[in-house]
Structure 1
Amino acid sequence: MKRPLKRLLGRRELVDFPAFALGGVEAKVDTGAYTSAIHCTDIHVEVAGRPRPVLTVRLLDPGHADADGRALTFTEFALRDIRSSNGEVQERYVIRAVVRLYGEDFEVDFSLSDRSDMKYPVLLGRSLLRQGRFVVDVAKRNLSYKSLAPAAARRVRP
């Protein structure tokens, strides 16, 4: 049986979030992290007067590069223990979101955390890398976006 080809990702990639109308967001590819993460602030759950709890966050706050800071709400979410890069276990809210790489959409779990002290607002973990059958070349960058540029240039030509 033939194995599917694996696509190459660089250590940094530009990703799109179609449901959030966000494109070209810088992401760090982290093979050491299992769960992907996205930068949010003002993370809180509203319960009163609602049939289901609602998670409200400010996505990519205005103080961060490539930010838009608008509020988003989610009715589907979970609270999980996530081990941070320094080894501490933290409770974080987790949502499912679609991330686009190589023009293909992947549904991935993202933990929501304040990454304002980090260089990149998005972290792509192993759960996405396995799902998309990716291999990481740490010497490369933005391979997904670069692969789409020639196709876009061909469409523009008369």
Structure 2
Amino acid sequence: MIVKDIFREMGNHASCLLIPALLFLTCSFPYHTMGEPDRPVIGAEEYVRILPYGFTIPARIDTGAATTSLDARNMCVEDSIVTFTLPPKWGGATITAPIVDWRYIRTSGSRERRPVIELELCIASRKLRARVNLNDRSGMRYPMLIGRNVITGNFLVDISRSYSNSPKTEDTEVDR
């Protein structure tokens, strides 16, 4: 018996079997074969290397935060240039960078205007250029918060993991 004969004998009941079968076949393909790009899975906390300075700092991965934020102490803004230092515990280096934007960031109960710079970051196996707002995070547990502007399109987040990847810094192109 061929398929055509089977459907003829089953009559209207053929669609009752065909639809679930097609749904099963469609849903049983692995997720990555349906066009999902290969993205590293990162945890709720990861180490981030700030390039080209080479400092590695812990960061909180926060899918609820729109933007990425870095602990910047002793900030001094002149024209469109900002100079700041990282906390001593994380290298204490002085960094000078052009301000590419100013953003109003909502915090608990208020809005703050913060300078935004571009940094090259290495997270897990990815090197990328990211916009980072600067803020004194001395009252926070992590010196860096990675927001959706870095996560989206680059990483998958598994909150059950922590520090599951170390930053790889092979000589590869920085994703822009």
TM category, shorter: 0.7 to 0.9
Structure 2: gaps spanning 5 or more residues:
1-33, 169-176
Q: Distance in 2 between matches of 1:75 and 1:30?
A: 25
User: What SS does the aligned partner of 1:141 have?
Assistant: coil
Structure 1: gaps spanning 5 or more residues:
48-52, 149-158
Return the structure number with greater strand share: 1
Q: Distance in 2 between matches of 1:55 and 1:130?
A: 27
User: What SS does the aligned partner of 2:43 have?
Assistant: strand
Q: Say which of 39, 43, 53 aligns to 1:6.
A: 39
| Equivalent residue runs for 1:1-158 within 5 Å | 2-23=35-56, 25-47=57-79, 53-58=80-85, 60-62=86-88, 65=89, 67-84=90-107, 86-132=108-154, 134-145=155-166
Give the TM-score of the pair, scaled to structure 2.
Answer: 0.70
Q: Distance in 2 between matches of 1:72 and 1:26?
A: 18
- Per-residue CA deviations over 1:26-74 (Å, capped at 9, x if unaligned) read 0000111010000011112124xxxxx321111x222xx3x22222111
Give the TM-score of the pair, scaled to structure 1.
Answer: 0.77
Verify the 8 A CA contact 1:108 1:128 in the aligned structure 2: yes
Could you say which residue in structure 2 is the equivalent of 1:50? none
Q: For residue 120 of structure 1, what is the amino acid of its counterpart? A: Y
Could you say which residue in structure 2 is the equivalent of 1:152? none
User: What SS does the aligned partner of 1:140 have?
Assistant: coil
Verify the 8 A CA contact 1:55 1:77 in the aligned structure 2: no
Q: For residue 87 of structure 2, what is the amino acid of its counterpart? A: D
Verify the 8 A CA contact 1:11 1:137 in the aligned structure 2: yes
Verify the 8 A CA contact 2:98 2:117 in the aligned structure 1: no
Q: Which runs of 4+ in 1 moved over 3 A?
A: none
Q: Distance in 2 between matches of 1:57 and 1:33?
A: 23
Give the superposition deviation at 1:89.
Answer: 1.4
Return the structure number with greater helix share: 2
Task: Assess, with a 3 A threshold, how the Cα gap between structure 1 residues 131 and 107 changes in structure 2: closer, same or farther.
Answer: farther
Q: Distance in 2 between matches of 1:140 and 1:117?
A: 24
Give the superposition deviation at 1:78.
Answer: 1.9
- Per-residue CA deviations over 1:61-108 (Å, capped at 9, x if unaligned) read 22xx3x222221112432211112x15211001111111022321111
- Name the structure, 1 or 2, with higher relative contact order (CA <8 Å, separation 6+): 1
Larger Rg: 2
Matched length: 135
